[in-house]
Amino acid sequence: MGATLVLASASPRRRELLRAAGLEFEVVPSALPEVPRPGEPAVALVQRLARAKADDVACRRPGCCVLGADTIVVVDDVVLGKPADRDAARGMLQQLSGRAHRVLTAVALVEPGGQHHEMLVESEVEFRPLERDEIERYLDSGEPFDKAGAYAVQGRARQFIRAVRGSYSNVVGLPVEEVVALLRHLSGTPANPTTTP
């Protein structure tokens, strides 16, 4: 591919995943608001936000290959974003307790010439039933408050999780296996990513 890879995200989890995959990149966060539109379906929301982040940074970093991503948690077709406060986080964890939910990550890659490549990866996470006091202790840790769905699969919440079906890194915040496959495809290395013109 040749062009500098730029991550359009301030997420430390996405940075860690890309570094662990051996990729070199710069970080230029997008400051676009992550606000759902009225009645917007979950898939449309996550794809729109990933694309908007990538486009926003691509305009500021011409000549680079810009990677944007957005991750959401969905339960009963309701999107659980980052909780606004302790009460919201508690309510989300109570919703997730004892059941499975979906984690969707949309990825958008903008090449220097403006060509877009997009993918959507879905994983399923199953929580065991949570006791009230362990929810409160988890809230006391401060971990839930900047996470979609109010939990971090790689953090203290791992004790709540009965199973992850599909990409684990997707639940962390970036489906790194699929991203690496896409980048290899663009650089000419054989791979089979899902792209859109």
Q: How many residues does the chain have?
A: 197
What's the CA gap between 120 and 65, in Å, rounded? 19
Report the interhelical angle of 176-186 vs 12-20 (nearest 10°). 60
Which token pair is 94?
Answer: 């109570």
Catalytic site residue from 70, 76, 140, 146: 70
The helix (H) or strand (E) run that includes residue 45 is helix 42-60
Tokens coding 72: 């959401």
Q: What is the DSSP letter of 131?
A: -
Give me the residues paired with residue 124 across strands.
Answer: 102, 165
Catalytic annotation on 70?
yes
Which residue, 89, 107, 116, is CA-closest to 14? 107
Token pair belonging to 109: 């890659």
* Residues 6 or more apart whose Cβ sits within 8 Å of residue 148: 71, 72, 73, 80, 81, 82, 103
Residues with active-site annotation: 70
